[in-house]
Amino acid sequence: MQIRYFERFGVTEALIAETLAAALSRGGDHADVYFQHRVASDVGVEDGEVNRAHASVELGVGVRVVKGDQTGYGYTEDLSLPALLECARTAAAIADGPSRVAPARLHLAPALPDRYPLVRRWEDVRPDEKLPLVAALNERAFAADPRVKKVNVYLRDESGAILVADSSGRVVEDEQPMTLLFLSVLAEQGGRREQNGYNVAGRAGFEFYSPDRLDRVVREAVTRTTILFEAGPPPAGEMPVVLAAGSSGILLHEAIGHGMEADFNRKGVSIYADKIGKPVARPFVNIVDDAAPPGARGAINVDDEGNAAGTTRLVQDGVLATYLHDAISAKHYGVAPTGNGRRESYRHPPLPRMRATYMLPGPHETEEIIRSVKRGIYCANFSNGQVAIGAGDFTFYVKNGFLIEDGKLTRPVKDVNVIGNGPQALERVDMVSNDLAIDEGGWTCGKDGQSVPVSQGLPTVRVSSMTVGGRGT
Amino acid sequence: MTQPSLLDSTRTAAKLALQKGASEAAAGGWQARHVEVAWRDGKIEKVSEATTRGLALDLYVEGRYVAVSTSDLRPEALDRFVEDSVALARKLAPDPHRMLPDPALYTGQAAIDLQLEDPSHASLDSATRRRIAEELEAAARSVPGADRILSVTTGASDTRAESALVQTNGFEGTRRGTDFWISAEVTVKDADGRRPEESAASGGRFRDQVEPPAAVGRRAAGRALARLGSRKGDSAVLTMAVDARSAGRVVAALLGPLGAASIQQKRSFLEGKIGAVVGSPLLDLTDDPLVVRGLGSRLYDGEGLAARKFRVFEGGVLRSYYVDTYYGRKLGWPPTTARTSNLAWRLGDRSQAELLRAMGDGILVTGFLGGNSNGTTGDYSLGVRGFRVRGGALAEPVGEMNVSGNQLELWKRLTAVGNDPYRYSAMGTPTLVFEGVQFAGN
C-alpha cells in the first residue's frame, strides 16, 4: 500500500497499524487515526502598502476510539511511534476491558471524486504573483469612489492534506486546498463613516482569481459600503422578509441545518428530534446539504472520518428527510453515514457538520415575490447568524437590505438583526424563486469550539413573517 | 535524555531567526496539557486528553515584517520554515512602524505572586473528573420539575499551560497557569415541542475557586425550567436589565472600538473621545492585570510590556484606549497594552433583585442570540431572551426578541450597576440597567 502525501513525515503502514491496534486494545468498537498537514499563507495591504504577511504550519495527528456512542480522543504534534501509541492508549481508555476486535488489514480506499481540481497549485505560486494582485485591488478600490478613505486587502491560501485510517482497514488521503480574498472598505461622507466589504473563497488554486471575480470583489466591496450612507434602520417588529438569492442561505444554515445535525437529535436536544418523515414546509421546498459543488468552500471529496460525502436531502418536497450524520450517529440510527463527519483540525474529534447547504429552485418569479410584499424588508447580504438548537430561535444579521413598500424596493437599510424560530420560519417560507445561487463568500461555521469552512445558497425566498430588530414603528 | 526547557527552545528559535537573516525577532513558545470529560445522561460521552505545543515568530527583516507560527518543530522543518519566512518578508514593502517595543517598557514588572498555577493540578485524576460530571447531572435532575428534563450534558475540563516569550532586544519571560472548569447544560421539553436549553458554569485558576458541582447542576436546571412557556413580547421601548453573566456581550461592543488598530483605521465610533463623556457616570471601569488568581491576570503582556493597571472609563468619561506598539507608533501614541486583562467595574451596592424592584417594569435579558454591533458607527442589533419584569419582580419568560440602537446612546442611559460581578469571566460584568431601549417583538 502506498501512502502518498504523508510519507514525507515518516507515516508508514506499520506506524498506522500499530497505532490502531493499541487504540482497540481496551475493547473499543472502532478506532481511527487522523493526520493533518496544513500550510497557510496570507499577504495583506494596509494604508496603501503590501507590508504584512503571515504563514502557518499545522502538523499533527488525532487518535479516536469509539465504544457505542462514547468517544475517547488524544492528539499530538509528534508523529513518532511512541507519541502515537501514547495517544492511542489515552483514547483507548474510553473502553475498559479486553480487546474484542482487532483492526483489519490496511488498504487504500477506492479513488475519491475530484471536486477541487487545481490549475495553479499554491505551492507553485510565488509571492511575486500574489503581491501585485492585492496591491492592484487596493488601488482599484480607492479609484472606484472618492469617498473611500481606507482599504484593507487580505489574500489567504492553504494547501496540505489529511489522511484518515480506521480499524476497518480503510486508508484515505485527500489534499485540501483553500483560498480566501477579503477586501474591506472604509468610506467617509459629510463627516459620517461607514465600513463594509466583500470576500470570496473556494477550494481552488490561483486561477480562482479571474478578472471577472476580481472586478466583482472591488465593485461589491465599494457599493456595499457607500450605499450605507443612504441607509437607516428599518422599523421594529414582525413583517414579511424577502431573502435575496445567494448568501441568504444563512437562513437554512441557522433555521434548519444545525438542528438537523444528528448528534443533537440522537441526544434529543434538537427541536427537529422525532420529526423525520413529517411535513415541515410547503411542498415546493427542497433543502440539501451537498459536499459536491465544484470548488466550493464547503466542498469535500471525503469527510474527516474517511466516509464518502455526497448530497444529503434535509427536506424533500416539504417533508423532513435525512439528518446529517457522522459515523456515531449513523450507527445509532442504523443508517449509512452521510459524509458529514467533519473536524476543525487534528485537535478535535469529528462531529456532524454542514458542508454546502442550499434550497433548490422553486415555482415563483423573483419579481413576483417582491411585488407581493406590501410592507417588509429585503435582505441582500449578511455578516453572521446563530441558533439555539432546542428552543429553535435563530438569528441572522443583515448588513445591507432595502425596505419593501407597496411591492417595490425603496430605502436602503443596514445593521439589523432578524430573529425567528426555525420550524415556524420554514413553515412560513411561502414563495421560492427559480434563481438559486450558491454564495462565493468565505463562510465559517462554529460548533462546540470547532470552526469549519462551509458554503450556503438560496433562491429568492419570501418568509411571510419574522421579527426585525429595527427601531420605531 | 532530558528535554530542553520551553524557555531554552524558545531562545533557540529566536536565535535561529537572527541566523537566518532577521534583524530582530520575537519568539513565543507554548505547550499545554488539556483534559476534558463530557458526560451525558448517565454515562461518559467523550474524554479528550492531550499535550500540545506550538511556536510563533514575529520576524523583522530589514524594516519588513512577517508573523508566522508552526506546530512542526522538527529541527530541519523549522530551519526551512524560518528561512522561507525571512525570504517572504524580503518581498514585502518596508514598514517603518514595525519594530520591537521600547525595552524601557519591559521594566517595572509588579513584584507580586499572581498565583496563576494550582500545584494540585497534577493530582487531579480521571476518576475525580468523572465524579464531578456525574454529580453535576445528579444535581440537575434533583430539582423540582425535573420530570420535564430531556437531557443533561455536563463537563469537567482543566488545562495546565506554559509559555515563553523571547524578544531579541532584551526581553525574556515565562509563565505557567492552570484553569479548571465545570459546566452543565440542560434541555427541557416545552408543551409545544420546543426544547429550550440553558446552562451554568463555574471555574477558576485554582480548584478551590470552583463551586461545588451540585450548585452548578441545580442552577443550570433551574434556568432551563424557567424558560418553559417562553413567548415573544410586544415591540416597545423599555428599561433593560442585563444579567451579569450576559452583560459581557454588551461591554464587548466597546472593546474593539477602543483598540488602536480600529482608531488608526478610522473604524471606531470612540475615535477622538478621550476626555469626553461616553456614558452615564456609572460607566466606570479599570483594566487590572494584577488581580491575584484572576482569569486575565499577567505580569507582562503579549509584547513583553510590564503590565499596569489603568482606568478605561471614569465616571462616564473615556480615559484610555488599548494601544499596542505598532498602531501606537502609527498614531504617535505611547502603548498601553494591546488586549484587555481583567475588567474591574466600580460596583453598585444593590443586588439584581433590588435593581429589578427599583426598575419596576421592563425586561431582564439573560441571554443574547446572534446580532452584531457596528464598531464604526456604534449601531447595534442583538437577539435576546430573558424575562418580563412587572411590579419589580420577574414575570413570564420572553424570547425571540431583538434590541437595537446606538452604543453612544445606550451607555448614556446606564442607570444602575449591580454589586454582583460575574466571577467566571475576566470581564467581570455586574448586572447593568439601561433605560429607554428599543425592543422588537410582536
> What is the rounded CA–CA span in Å between residue A259 and residue B297?
38
Distance of CA A239 to the CA centre of its chain: 29
User: Does one domain contain both A259 and A336?
Assistant: yes
In A, minimum Cα distance to B187 occurs at A269
Angle at A456 between CA B376 and CA A154, to 5 degrees: 45
**If you ran DSSP here, which 8-state letter would residue A267 be given?**
T
A468/B440 CB distance under 8 A = yes
Identify any residues that bridge with A467 across adjacent strands, giving them in sequence order. Answer: A238, A419
Q: How confident is the model at residue A99 (pLDDT cuts 50, 70, 90)?
A: confident
Assigned domain for A24 exists: yes
Residue B44's beta-bridge partner residues?
B39
3 state DSSP class of A43:
strand
A473 occurs within a structural domain: no
ipTM here: 0.95
B130: distance to nearest CA of chain A, Å? 12
Last residue of a domain, one of A230, A254, A287: A230
Q: Which of A203, A230, A257 is the last residue of a domain?
A: A230
Contact yes or no for B383 and A50 at CB 8 A: no
Q: Are B20 and B82 in contact (CB under 8 A)?
A: yes
In the beta sheet, which residues pair with residue B151? B187
Question: What does the pLDDT look like over A383-403, one tens digit per residue?
Answer: 999 999 999 999 999 999 999
Alpha-carbon span A305 to A172, nearest angstrom = 9
Q: Are residues A225 and A290 in the same domain?
A: no
Chain A interface includes B31 (CB < 8 A): no
Contacts of A326 in chain B (CB under 8 A): none
Q: Which of A53, A76, A193 sits opposite B266 (nearest CB)?
A: A193
Q: What is the mean pLDDT of residues A52-61?
A: 97
Q: Give the model's pLDDT for residue A97.
A: 87
Task: Specify whether the CB–CB gap between A146 and A183 falls below 8 A.
Answer: no
For each successive 10 residues of chain B (442 residues), what is the average pLDDT?
A: 82 98 98 96 95 96 97 95 96 97 97 97 93 98 97 97 98 98 97 96 97 98 98 97 98 97 98 98 98 98 98 98 98 97 98 98 98 97 98 97 97 98 97 98 95
- Which of residues A83, A108, A133 is at a domain's end? A108
A21 in a domain, yes or no? yes
Phi first, then psi: what are they for B435, rounded to 5°? -95, 150
Determine the distance in angstroms separating the CA of A115 from the nearest CA of chain B, rounded to an integer: 28
Q: Cβ of A73 and B381 within 8 Å?
A: no
Please, is B151 exposed, middle or buried when counting C-beta atoms within 10 Å of its C-beta (0-12, 13-18, 19+)? buried
DSSP state of A248: G
Give the closest of A57, A389, A467 to B70, CB-based. Answer: A57
Burial of B1 (0-12, 13-18, 19+ CB in 10 A): exposed
- Together in a domain, A446 and A344: yes
- The grid coordinates listed for A251 are 437562513
Task: Please indicate if any CB of chain A lies within 8 Å of the CB of B230.
Answer: yes
Task: Give the residue carrying C-alpha cell 425603496.
Answer: A410
Residues A194 and A321 in one domain: no
- For residue A2, count CB atoms less than 10 angstroms from its CB and return exposed for 0-12, middle for 13-18, buried for 19 or more: exposed
**Comparing C-alpha atoms, which of A379, A413, A440, A418 is closest to residue A183?**
A440
Residue A16 and residue A163 share a domain: no
**Among all residues of chain B, which has the CA nearest to that of A421?**
B400
Between CA A66 and CA B384 the distance in angstroms is 38
**Strands (DSSP E) found in B282-377:** 285-287, 310-314, 317-318, 343-345, 362-373
Query: Which helix (H) or strand (E) element contains residue A179?
Result: strand A178-189
At which residue does the C-alpha cell 468619561 appear?
B317
- A-B CB pairs within 8 A amount to 261
For position A224, which CATH number holds? 3.30.2290.10
C-alpha distance from residue B41 to each of B89, B138, B183 (Å):
53, 9, 14
Residue A451 touches partner B, C-beta closer than 8 Å: no
Among B72, B85, B440, select the one facing A59 at the smallest CB separation: B72
Average pLDDT over residues A325-352: 96
Q: Do B150 and A269 touch (CB under 8 A)?
A: yes
Do B70 and A389 count as a contact with CB atoms less than 8 A apart?
no
- Please indicate, yes or no, whether residues A425 and A443 belong to a single structural domain of this protein: yes
Interface test with B, best of A58, A69, A79, A195 (most B CBs within 10 A): A195
- Measure B108 CA to nearest chain A CA, in Å: 31
Name the 3-class secondary structure at A198. Answer: strand
Q: CA of A70, closest CA in chain B: separation in Å?
A: 5
User: What range defines the domain where residue A58 resides?
Assistant: 6-108
Task: Give contacts of A47 with chain B, Cβ < 8 Å.
Answer: 330
Asked if the structure places residue A410 within a domain, the reply is yes
Interface of A with B in 99-128 (CB under 8 A): 127-128
Which of B395, B388, B386 shows the shortest CA–CA distance to B367?
A: B386
Q: Residues of B with CB below 8 A from A473's CB?
A: 235
Q: Where are the domains of chain B?
A: 6-31+51-105, 119-225, 236-440
Nearest alpha-carbon partner for B93 in A451, A46, A162, A259: A46
Mutation for testing the B interface, residue in A9, A34, A51, A384 having most B CBs under 10 Å? A51
* CA distance between the termini of chain A: 68
Burial A12-50 (b: 16+ CB within 10 A, else e): eeebbbbbbbbbbbbbbbbbbbbbbbbbbbbbbbbeeeb
Q: Assess if CATH 2.60.40.1510 describes domain B119-225.
A: no
pLDDT for residue B1: 44
Domain count, chain A: 3
Nearest Cα neighbor of B288 from B336, B329, B242 is B336
pLDDT of residue A472: 87
CA distance A422 to A273: 13
DSSP three-state, residue B330: helix
Query: Is residue A113 in some structural domain?
Result: no
Question: A94 and B385: CB-CB below 8 Å?
Answer: no
Nearest CA-CA distance, residue A472 and chain B, Å: 8
Residue A127: list chain B partners with CB under 8 A. 88, 91
CB–CB of A370/A407 below 8 Å? yes
C-alpha–C-alpha distance, residues B314 and A319, integer Å: 57
**Encoded amino acid at B43, one letter:** K
Residues sharing a CB contact under 8 Å with residue B256, sequence separation 6 or more, in sequence order = B262, B268, B375
Q: Which residues of A touch B64 (CB under 8 A)?
A: 51
The string of pLDDT tens digits covering residues B353-375 is 999 999 999 999 999 999 999 99
Mean pLDDT of A248-277: 93
From the list A233, A391, A395, the residue facing B194 with the nearest CB is A391
Round to whole Å and give the CA distance between A111 and B223: 51
- Say how far apart CA A175 and CA A301 lie, in whole Å: 9
Chain B contact for A229, CB < 8 A? no
Q: Is A373 within 8 Å of chain B by CB?
A: no
Q: Taking the CA atoms of chain A, what radius of gyration do you get in angstroms?
A: 24
CA distance B112 to chain A (A): 34
Q: Cα torsion at B282, B283, B287, B292 (round to 10°)?
A: 40
In 3D space, the residue among A67, A57, A63, A166 whose CA is nearest the CA of residue A109 turns out to be: A166
Q: Is the dihedral of CA B99, B100, B101, B103 positive or negative?
A: negative
Give the mean pLDDT of chain A: 96
Mapped onto helix, strand or coil, the DSSP state of residue B176 is strand
Cβ-defined contact of B95 to A393 (cutoff 8 Å): no
Q: CB distance from B326 to chain A under 8 Å?
A: no
- DSSP reduced 3-state for B411: helix
Q: In this complex, is the C-beta atom of B49 within 8 Å of any C-beta atom belonging to chain A? A: yes
Q: Which residues of A touch B382 (CB under 8 A)?
A: 417, 469
pLDDT at A100 exceeding the cut of 90: no
Chain B, 59 to 78: residues with Cβ < 8 Å from chain A are 64-73, 77
The residues, ordered by sequence, that sit 6+ positions from A75 with a Cβ below 8 Å of its Cβ are A60, A61, A62, A63, A87, A346, A347, B48, B50, B52
**Is A341 within the bounds of a domain?**
yes
Output the 3-class SS for A421-440. EHHHHHHCEEEEECCCEECC
CA distance B99 to A53: 15
List the Cα angle A197/A229/A433 in 5-degree steps. 65
Answer whether A53 sits within 8 Å of B71, measured CB to CB. Answer: no
Q: How many residues does chain A have?
A: 473
* Chain position carrying cell 446563530: A386
Nearest alpha carbon to residue B384 among B434, B329, B349: B434
- Taking the CB of residue A367, how many other CB atoms lie within 10 A of it? 11
A1 in a domain, yes or no? Answer: no
Query: How close, in Å, is residue A80 to chain B by CA atoms?
Result: 11
Picking from A1-5, A28-32, A116-120, which range would have the lowest pLDDT averaged per residue? A1-5
Q: Are strands A393-405 and A356-359 parallel, antiparallel or unpaired?
A: unpaired
Dihedral sign computed on CA atoms, order A7, A13, A18, A19:
positive
- C-alpha B339, offset from chain centre: 10
Cβ A92 vs Cβ B55: under 8 Å: no
Within 235-294 of B, beta carbons closer than 8 Å to A belong to 235, 265-267
Amino acid type, A254: E
